[in-house]
Amino acid sequence: MFAHERSTLIRKLLRQRGRLTFEELKSQLGVSAATLRRDLTALAASGQAVRVHGGILDPVRLRGEMSFDERTANRRPAKKAIGLMASSLVGSGDCVLVDAGSTCLEAALHLLGREDVTVVTNSLPLLEAGLHGRGRLICLGGELRRVSGALTGAASLGALERLQGDIAFIGATGLSERSGASTTELSEAAFKQALLQRARRRVLLADASKWDQSSLVRFADWADFTDIVTDRRPKARLPRHVRLHLVSSPAGKLERVA
């Protein structure tokens, strides 16, 4: 593999996972430690990676929370496959509470054409897409967080308290084997916790880039969910009541795992 090919692969992996260890990269690329150090030095010098002890970080993650457009573009095939699987869990007559994450958006887009469900959300991108749908769509107002497209705060929480959902789609920024699900900001964590309280079935939607990392604000234990839809089997030992649904991406083949 030439240096340019290695550099392209490293940048692709870094965009997907946010952080990579030296040993992970060495194993993935099949190169010597000296060659890998030269590659990482070049990437760091060009600003495409940040060297840390034992590995590298994505500079985009260090700037803070990725924008909604950046998150939507990141691992899009996997998110679309997860969204398709999640939407298949929704039955006729269900009221679906939808979080403002990019993967949750992919799931909800499949519901907009269904007239037999009601979708409730604080996601501005989903509300915009709903202009072209046929199903019932309820907006939870609030203060706009432009970086995520979420409407948050007392207004959205107050409206949600008066509703009861059959199923909720909930996203996360980080998923840790020990600490569970986390996100970047207190107001969004509060909304996710409210979703968990207001739905009978609580479905976590997360692609593989979220696993094995933690974000700033923890909002849920594994036991708080009834289902997880993802494209990588988690290392965490899930409670017996949590059902795991695995998708194989990018082809989008579906596999249900009890």
The DSSP symbol for 249 reads: T
As a residue count, the chain comes to 258
Contact (Cβ atoms closer than 8 angstroms) between residue 231 and residue 249: yes
Per-residue pLDDT of the chain (258 residues; tens, 9 = 90+): 788 889 999 988 887 777 888 898 998 899 999 999 999 988 888 778 888 778 888 776 654 555 555 555 566 889 999 999 999 999 999 999 999 989 999 999 999 999 999 999 999 999 999 998 899 999 999 999 888 889 999 999 999 999 999 999 999 998 989 889 999 889 999 999 999 999 999 999 999 888 888 788 999 999 999 999 999 998 889 999 999 999 985 544 444 444
Residue whose token pair is 């679906």: 96
3-state helix, strand, coil in the chain (%, to 5): 40, 25, 35
- Closest alpha carbon to 105 in 232, 250, 205, 201: 205
- Closest alpha carbon to 244 in 12, 6, 34, 85: 85
Domains of the chain (ranges; CATH) run 3-62 (1.10.10.10), 68-257 (3.40.50.1360)
Q: Write out the H or E segment, with its range, that includes residue 227.
A: strand 227-230
